[in-house]
Homo-oligomer: A and B are copies of this chain.
Amino acid sequence: MLTKTPPAHGASLRSAPMAIDTGTGRGDLGHTIQLMGATMSYLRNAEIYGENEPAEYVYMVVTGAVRTYRVMNDGRRQIGGFFLAGDIFGIEAGGTHHFSAEAIKDSTVLVVKRSVLVTLASQDGSIAHQLWTFTARELERVQGHLLLLIKSAQERVASFLIEMSRRLASVDYIELPMSRQDIADYLGLTIETVSRTMTQLETEAAIALPSSRRIVLRDRKALDRLNS
């Protein structure tokens, strides 16, 4: 359950935004961030920000993947979310982060000063609306995550795979950026249970596992039935 997180706080500032496909519609807060953001790079497992730190920046993933998490006093880690290319994270209405954020693999992100965004919002109703809408969508996401945690292991894993398949713009297989431990800590399971459930789904011909990180969704209907 517990995970060590060898940090390697290697963040280098680069510059200049670039075009990103925001087709999935994250409000257009993504667009706003693209216009104003500076590029930063983080090495695998580098901390992007820590729990209880002041929330100085808002982030959008350009390449790579990010996890947010909290460590409970007993050492258990709960992952709050995974953020992939195009996803925004780190927004806090109150000025403090309630989760930590780390790069799952070498990643680049756009950053915008939160204070700038907040000031803009106070002048521009459209920006204010984007902030609200984004936070509301985040709320929905967390509510969905919460609903996952009362389901069976099979259902959780199936839901996770379906979600990832949707978000990873996958062709005929998905390439997971995160480890089994990350998945376990996201789903509230142990790594062993996640692994066993995967093999079980493979046995039932719902998925195929060419390698541990590469997963073919073979029987979408069966997975959907579990996802329900």
Q: Say whether A93 faces chain B, with CB atoms less than 8 Å apart.
A: yes
Is the interface on chain A under 10, 10 to 19, 20 to 34, or 35 or more residues? 35 or more
Contact B142–A139 (Cβ < 8 Å): yes
CA gap between A138 and B122 in the complex, in Å: 21
Which residues of the other chain, B, contact A73 by a CB distance below 8 angstroms? 228
Chain B min CB distance to A129 (Å): 7
What chain B residues lie within 8 Å of A80 (beta carbons)? 143, 146
Q: Is A78 an interface residue (CB 8 A)?
A: yes
Count the copies.
2
A116 within 8 Å of B (CB atoms): no
Does A74 sit at the interface, judged by CB under 8 A?
yes
Report yes or no: A93 in contact with B146, Cβ–Cβ below 8 A: no
- Per-residue CB contact flags for chain A residues 101-140 toward chain B (1 = under 8 Å, else 0) read 0000000000000000000011101001101110111111
Is A56 close to B, CB under 8 A? no
A136 and B92 contacting across the interface, CB-CB below 8 Å: yes
With contacts A72-B151, A149-B150 known, what are 10 further pairs, Cβ within 8 A?
A72-B228, A78-B147, A93-B137, A98-B140, A122-B129, A128-B128, A132-B132, A138-B139, A142-B142, A142-B146
